[in-house]
Structure 1
Amino acid sequence: MAATALRRNPRITFSLRSFSTATATSTATATATATATSTVALSTDPSPPSTVVNGASISRIKTSIRSESNPDRLADLFATAATTRLFYGDRIIYKRAIKKLADAHRPDLIERLLEHQITDPSTPKSEGFLMRIISLYGDASMPDQAAAAFTRIPPPRTDRALCALLNAFFKSGQRTRLHDTFENAESTLNVSPGIACCNLILKSLCENGEVSAARVMLDELPQRGLTPDIISYNTVLDGYVKSKNQEGFEDLLKEISKKKLEANVVTYHCRISVLCESGRSIEAEELLDVMISKGVRPNTACFNTLIDGFCKEGNSSMAIKVFRRMEKMKNDDSSAASANHTTYILLLSCLVEKEEFDTALEIVDLCFRRKWAPPFPTVKGLVHGLIEKSKVKEAKDVVKKMGSVVKGDSIAAWKKINSEFTF
């Protein structure tokens, strides 16, 4: 059977050189003569020639990249299709492939693949395409390579390209390089930073705890000939939230209203966060209606912050109410915000602490359906609580399902906890 499957799925090898599109009639020859160091089994696809490389369809190669765990084979797959429009036009597969290589700690393969993309005559050399390369280097924390890719963009370079480079420095944690490049962009790169670049600097300052400096920069933007947008204000607003500076927050919020800037979901989330932090979650929950009335859709972060606020106030019934509201909105509109892992953990911890075990069972079951393992202490508290309430059958069911969702190193740890239960 294995031999039959192999004959039906000829093994195709790939190297990191440029490949031209193969026709259906040349599949056998290409399969026999390919000479890469590793091989990947792919089925021959009768698609039109423009969608096939070395006998394998582009879609099939993309599927293999998504499932491939070996970084060398993944790189071979990427290189095989790298110069075909159906492949290099797919931003998502690029991002996924580079992330997998970065997670595997293979910057050598990342540089090899992306440098090939830059130099190969078959790929586009537009500023937009090179910006994508810069961004991918940023995702992989390879700032030197991002800077080198930026120099490949022929002048005149735009503010968008500069922003891509600055963002690569930001994601790589090179804050000094980020700020120096920003300050000297006009003199050294002949690019004048626009509002997007300035917003990135504001974000960097706020994340570094320099919210006062960010506020000064925000106020001085008009002197640079730039008008702050709602993103500019939201960035500093969020900085005030995280630094718990309510006075600065309120002053800036008034300025947003005075300038008649249209608040978006981030603005409202900041307001919800401040109210919840002040123990005013009921008022924060009312903002959901305000948002919706103004055509602003609450996101998952808004709901989670509210749930967390009510949980901290010990108001589990309101936390569940917010959760039900999110579920209803999702049922009514599939594009609405969805509960995530954080949502369930917040609720489950609160319900177990409040000894509301029936509702906690409902929430933990939702976790298990999604193959999520809740924190061990919370599950342990739930199981002990159920046992004390003489709900042994339910407790055993939780233990059994928990054992089916824990993975990796957590399996041994869970077995140890499991052995402590006495039913």
Structure 2
Amino acid sequence: MAAALRRSLRFPLFRRRFSAHSTATSPTPSSDPISAAKSAIRSESDPDRLVSLFESAAHDPSFYDDRQIYRFSILKLARHHRPDLIERLLEGAKSNPDSPKSEGFLLRLLSLYSEAGMPDHAFRTFEAMPGLGCRRTDRSLCALLSAFLKNDCVDRLQDVFDRAADEFGIAPGIASYNVLLRALCSIDEVEKARALLDEMPDKGVEPDIICYNTVLDGYLKKGDYSGFDEFLEELNRKKFSPNVGTFNCRIAALCAQGKSFQAEELLEVMQSKRIQPNRISFNTLIDGFCKEGNIDSAMKVYERMKGFKRPDDTGVSPDFKTYTTLLEDLVEKEEFGKGVEICKECLEKKWAPPFETVKGLIDGLVKSSRVNEAKDVISMMGKGIKGDARDAWKKIEESFSFKKSKASPLLLASNHRRRSHIPE
């Protein structure tokens, strides 16, 4: 009877709020209250109200399976600087008798605390697992170590790693060792990381190519290219088969030394070894050529990236980093025509480039008497930007008119933009 009463009282708010918007083709709130709850959570801007909505829906088992709504809610609360509400939600999920107490679910809570910048709470979640009937494994240890690394708590990471076997009954496995390797490299202790590789077999853990790539990347980020080359030779002597991560480190090392043409040649070497380049491979080359002032070669790599096909016929699509790297360099080099093309492609993917870069593009187009293209960019930006960002962009638009006389082409373009495209 209590369960029936709880069901009857669970979602009165959502029935009231969404009944006016129901259609014949979509579920009504009464038939699908969880969907209504999730929709309300996504649109809610008040953090206290968001938590109330979340808690109203958290009794339903299907709610716990939605990783996105958990992460969305926690990150929104973190942006509002409300650790009290984050703790309320996640501790509530931990203690709720309806929630699963599996290792996977508890590690999700641990990771959410980590993303919210609350490593102490992540550790307490790790400590609480046995009391909740969940056995900790190396997976649990790895998640905790990753939380410490994400929050720059390297000393605590090392301490927990050292105590894992005796205090927590967990013998660190290769995943946990790899987090420790990354942590040591993050504080420029690359030689310690390299020594740890030699110690691992004595602990019953054989390093794999990922471990070696981690140390290789450590030398790269430290800028120790002689150490990088020496360690790469060691990797080859041990007869490890390189993977795409190994080659991406080599590409990055060459680009960092102004040798992007040599780095590009590694794309053919990779494919000859049946190792397919990925987005990082291409983006690193594009960035390398841009830093060398060779925008033409960067654009060629970009076209090569768009046309690249793996044996299974899948491609490698540009991402936000690809577009912003190219656009910033094109504007700097006053290649405004190509800049418009890249800006358009970026906006077509629903990504808004950095405002200052777009402002530089528009200024350059107007100075080059390409006012219609400037109008197009202004129009596309206005259509593609949502929420608070739209207000920020409108301020930039208005700044154009402050710099120009009343009859200037840019002012006319800006006025046309405000009349035609900005919704009330």
Give TM-score scaled by structure 2 length: 0.81
Match of 2:249 in 1: 270
Tell me the alpha carbon deviations over residues 35-82 of structure 1, each in whole angstroms, 9 at most, x when there is no partner. Answer: xxx998244999xxxx99976432332333333322223222322332
Match of 2:398 in 1: 415
Q: 1:134 aligns with which of 110, 113, 120?
A: 110
Q: State the AA in 1 paired with 2:302.
A: F
Match of 1:170 in 2: 149
Instruction: Describe the SS at the equivalent of 1:187.
Output: helix
Instruction: Describe the SS at the equivalent of 1:69.
Output: coil
Separation of aligned partners in 2, 1:110 and 1:20: 27
Q: How does 1:282-297 map onto structure 2 within 5 Å?
A: 282-297=261-276
Task: Work out whether residues 21 and 52 of structure 1, in 8 Å CA contact, stay in contact via their aligned partners in 2.
Answer: no
Q: How does 1:101-120 map onto structure 2 within 5 Å?
A: 101-120=77-96
Separation of aligned partners in 2, 1:373 and 1:418: 22
Q: How does 1:223-238 map onto structure 2 within 5 Å?
A: 223-238=202-217
Separation of aligned partners in 2, 1:344 and 1:201: 34
1:245 aligns with 2:245: no
Q: How does 1:6-17 map onto structure 2 within 5 Å?
A: none
1:340 aligns with 2:332: no
Q: How does 1:299-338 map onto structure 2 within 5 Å?
A: 299-329=278-308, 336-338=315-317
Match of 2:121 in 1: 145
Q: State the AA in 2 paired with 1:150.
A: F
Inter-CA distance 75–335: structure 2 relative to 1 (3 Å threshold): farther
Q: State the AA in 1 paired with 2:115.
A: D
Instruction: Describe the SS at the equivalent of 2:369.
Output: coil
Task: Work out whether residues 118 and 130 of structure 1, in 8 Å CA contact, stay in contact via their aligned partners in 2.
Answer: yes
Inter-CA distance 311–76: structure 2 relative to 1 (3 Å threshold): same
1:121 aligns with 2:127: no
Inter-CA distance 124–415: structure 2 relative to 1 (3 Å threshold): same
1:357 aligns with 2:333: no
Q: 1:70 aligns with which of 46, 50, 54?
A: 46
Inter-CA distance 395–126: structure 2 relative to 1 (3 Å threshold): closer
By percentage of residues, which structure has more helix?
A: 2
Q: State the AA in 1 paired with 2:185.
A: C
Instruction: Describe the SS at the equivalent of 2:390.
Output: coil
Separation of aligned partners in 2, 1:53 and 1:383: 46
Q: State the AA in 2 paired with 1:124.
A: P
Task: Work out whether residues 52 and 58 of structure 1, in 8 Å CA contact, stay in contact via their aligned partners in 2.
Answer: no
**Structure 2 unmatched ranges of 5 or more:** 410-424
Q: State the AA in 1 paired with 2:261.
A: I
Moved more, 383-392 or 339-348: 383-392
1:216 aligns with 2:195: yes
Inter-CA distance 371–159: structure 2 relative to 1 (3 Å threshold): closer
Q: State the AA in 1 paired with 2:243.
A: N
Moved more, 111-120 or 65-74: 65-74
Inter-CA distance 200–20: structure 2 relative to 1 (3 Å threshold): farther
Instruction: Describe the SS at the equivalent of 1:41.
Output: helix
Inter-CA distance 156–382: structure 2 relative to 1 (3 Å threshold): closer
Q: State the AA in 2 paired with 1:204.
A: A
Task: Work out whether residues 269 and 301 of structure 1, in 8 Å CA contact, stay in contact via their aligned partners in 2.
Answer: yes
Q: Could you tell me the percent identity over the aligned residues? A: 48
Tell me the alpha carbon deviations over residues 118-153 of structure 1, each in whole angstroms, 9 at most, x when there is no partner. Answer: 222222222222222212211222222222221222
Separation of aligned partners in 2, 1:351 and 1:30: 56
Task: Work out whether residues 22 and 52 of structure 1, in 8 Å CA contact, stay in contact via their aligned partners in 2.
Answer: no
Separation of aligned partners in 1, 2:45 and 2:392: 19
Count residues with an aligned counterpart. 395
Inter-CA distance 378–259: structure 2 relative to 1 (3 Å threshold): same
Inter-CA distance 72–213: structure 2 relative to 1 (3 Å threshold): same
Task: Work out whether residues 308 and 315 of structure 2, in 8 Å CA contact, stay in contact via their aligned partners in 1.
Answer: yes
Tell me the alpha carbon deviations over residues 337-391 of structure 1, each in whole angstroms, 9 at most, x when there is no partner. Answer: 3322221222123223333332222112223434544445544543454345433
Give 1:307 shift. Answer: 0.8
Task: Work out whether residues 170 and 204 of structure 1, in 8 Å CA contact, stay in contact via their aligned partners in 2.
Answer: yes
**Structure 1 unmatched ranges of 5 or more:** 1-18
Q: State the AA in 2 paired with 1:198.
A: Y
Q: State the AA in 2 paired with 1:75.
A: V
Separation of aligned partners in 2, 1:163 and 1:106: 27
Separation of aligned partners in 1, 2:378 and 2:280: 30
Inter-CA distance 87–311: structure 2 relative to 1 (3 Å threshold): same
Separation of aligned partners in 2, 1:188 and 1:350: 53
Tell me the alpha carbon deviations over residues 288-307 of structure 1, each in whole angstroms, 9 at most, x when there is no partner. Answer: 23334444443322222111
Inter-CA distance 152–343: structure 2 relative to 1 (3 Å threshold): same
1:59 aligns with 2:38: no
Q: State the AA in 1 paired with 2:103.
A: E
Q: State the AA in 2 paired with 1:97.
A: S
Match of 1:12 in 2: none
Give 1:246 shift. Answer: 0.9
Separation of aligned partners in 1, 2:101 and 2:361: 58
Give TM-score scaled by structure 1 length: 0.81
Inter-CA distance 245–174: structure 2 relative to 1 (3 Å threshold): same
Task: Work out whether residues 376 and 414 of structure 1, in 8 Å CA contact, stay in contact via their aligned partners in 2.
Answer: no
Q: 1:255 aligns with which of 234, 238, 244?
A: 234
1:81 aligns with 2:60: no
